[in-house]
Amino acid sequence: MRRSALVSWSGFAMVVAAAGFWAPDAGLAQGRGGRQGQPGVQIQAGDECPAGTTEVRKGRCQAPDKPAPSIVDYRPKPTVVAEAHMVPKAKFPVVDIHSHLTVTSDNMEQTIKEMDALNLRVLNNLSGGSGAALKEKVETIRKSAYKDRFRVFANVKWDGAGGAGWKEKEVAALRQAVADGAVGLKIFKDLGLRSTKADGSRLKIDDPDLDPIFQLCAELNIPVLIHTADPAQFFEPIDNHNERWLELGLFPNRAYPQDRFPSFETLMQERDRMFARNPKTRFIAAHFAWYGNDVARGSRMLDTLPNVYLEVAAVLYEFGRQPRAWTEFFTKYQDRVLFGKDTYEPTEYPYYWRVFETRDEYFDYYRNYHAFWKLYGMGLPDAVLKKLYYQNAVKITPGMPQGGW
Ligand SMILES: [Zn+2]
């Protein structure tokens, strides 16, 4: 199924790529059949052009007169001459609330150099684990010369929830992790997608067996950063309508075939019900809750769930393609947004700074398989930038360095 999708998409894209090369007398290859002897294929309103053709006039589809490059090879050079304001260093200090970098005595000096160049003040490692492993990560930071530059979130082992002793064990482990220096809880996307209950069934995100964990987070006054599902396109058919076709072609294991996984909507609803049921717990929805392509849905979430915050990791391409709507959103909900990056790659942070800080137009994202479109800057005001970059993270995470900003 994936193979045939590939063929039809390449054909479709080739046509899109080369549309415009058509000349009226060169159209024999694409067949006649159009109105009044025009080349091409007629379609009815609402129908799609056949594979290998594209709509050149209302209701008339035509193939290009030469073999077209595939979407993999099509790299047009933009002719637009636009001002470029590169931003190598963020305008204000930044807390990266969504990192997975574990610092050691070996990589710390180099990491600090990179962070200073970017104006990254604090890097928050969400992969803290629990027990001795977590304690060691915290100790490495505390014993270093940079104890205010790194923080760690703990993790819970969800498999076996509902079984004898699970709750007691995991509640105690999380309590210990926070006593050992963890400043929050991170939940990986396994919860909802892969984790299982003691009886072998899928562990739902809103399973009441998990509530003691969330209540403990409220009691300990630590935020919970939760990654649920993945982009909606990963749950959809991999065909020429899927916005992430190229990514799913390059990384087939990112797809969630619907005969084996819950739907995107199921996971969103479980998560949002869990948020609603634990109003005293502060939640940070990773990757903007995957609502980065739906401003209205993001607004509804924040309007109805006052305990929820959104962080921007790995969804920059969404804000950058809709900069006006998102600038309004970030301004309206400026107390509810946090900065995160996910993958620690110093060369990629400046793309975020540029989208958030400048009003540049039509520039590239750093991964073309995520976003085949261009980005536009939002030019956020300083007050909003500060909240996004560090103030909100510091406010909702008491374990963050509270001074020196
Ligand atoms: Zn992550």
pLDDT digits (tens, 9 = 90+) for 24-74: 333 434 444 445 567 789 999 999 999 999 999 999 999 999 999 998 999
Closest by Cα among 283, 393, 379 to 85: 379
Ligand 1 centroid to Cα of residue 154, in Å, is 13
Question: Do 275 and 284 touch, CB atoms closer than 8 A?
Answer: no
- Structure tokens that stand for 220 in this block: 């300990």
Q: pTM score, two decimals?
A: 0.90
In angstroms, what is the span from residue 98 Cα to ligand 1's centroid? 6
Q: How far is the CA of 57 from the centre of ligand 1 (A)?
A: 45
Q: Per-block average pLDDT, block size 10, for the chain (405 residues)? A: 37 40 38 60 94 94 94 92 97 98 97 98 98 98 98 98 97 98 98 98 98 98 98 97 95 97 98 98 98 98 98 98 98 98 98 98 92 95 98 98 94
The rounded Å distance from CA 218 to ligand 1 centre is 22
pLDDT for residue 19: 39
CA 313–ligand 1 middle distance (angstroms): 8
Q: Where are the domains of the chain?
A: 2-62, 94-396
Which H helix or E strand runs over 225?
strand 224-226
Cα(126) to ligand 1 centroid in Å equals: 7
Q: For residue 393, what is the enclosing H or E element? A: helix 392-396
Helix, strand or coil, per DSSP, at residue 375: strand
CA of 230 to the centre of ligand 1 (A): 11
CA 155 to ligand 1 center in whole angstroms: 12
Please state, in angstroms and rounded to a whole number, the distance separating the CA atoms of residues 300 and 294.
Answer: 10
Other C-beta atoms closer than 10 Å to the C-beta of 263 total 14
**124-138: per-residue pLDDT in tens?**
999 999 999 999 999
275: amino acid identity, one letter: F
Q: Report the distance separating Cα 83 and Cα 90, nearest Å.
A: 19
Ligand 1 center from residue 343 Cα (angstroms): 7
The per-residue pLDDT for range 195-211, each reduced to its tens digit, is: 999 999 999 999 999 99
pLDDT at position 32: 45
Q: What gap in Å lies between CA 34 and CA 232, rounded to an integer?
A: 38
Distance 82 CA to ligand 1 centre (A): 33
Q: How far apart are CA 354 and CA 280, in angstroms?
A: 35
Instruction: Give me ligand 1 centre to Cα 362, in Å.
Output: 27
For 319, residues 6+ apart whose C-beta sits below 8 A from its C-beta are 292, 312, 326, 330, 355, 356, 378
Q: How far is CA 105 from the centre of its chain?
A: 30
Residues having C-beta closer than 5 Å to ion ligand 1? 342
23-16-58 Cα angle (round to 5): 65
Distance 142 CA to ligand 1 centre (A): 23
* 188 Cα–ligand 1 center, Å: 8
CATH entry 3.30.465.10 includes domain 94-396: no
